[in-house]
Amino acid sequence: MVFSKIGLESYDPLAATQIRVVVAMVAFMILISIRGKWGEVKKGVKNKKALKWLVIGSFFGPFMGVTSMLIALKNASTGIVSTLSSTSPILIIPFCILIFKERVKPIEVLGAVISVGGASLFFI
């Protein structure tokens, strides 16, 4: 986040997200080529139900999430943005309990608290 804040000094957050997406696509293409997994990619693209959820998840997670985070970084301090963005583990715990009926272990709650606590050190 600190490097993103420095890089965003005079740059558009949407353009920065597009650069991240393009670089990630190229990196994945190289990795898939090296590992020889293009057959699995082709098989995955044929699964329309999975592809639909992949597109939806990719749009709202990496694209909208990262763009929103970069907009926040451009307009607020790094400490505030990193603390708020690190709260996702804490926000997920109630969903695991209420929707998925999973038992949450104390070590998982501790990990979520440490995540937020570590990010909040940027305030200091």
- Cα–Cα distance for residue pair 69/49, rounded to 1 Å: 29
16-45 pLDDT, tens digit each: 888 988 999 999 999 999 999 999 999 989
- Cα–Cα distance for residue pair 89/94, rounded to 1 Å: 10
- Cα–Cα distance for residue pair 27/5, rounded to 1 Å: 23
- For residue 8, which phi and psi values (nearest 5 degrees)? -85, 0
Amino acid at 50: A
Q: What is the pTM of this model?
A: 0.71
71-121 pLDDT, tens digit each: 999 998 888 888 888 888 888 888 888 888 888 899 988 988 888 888 777
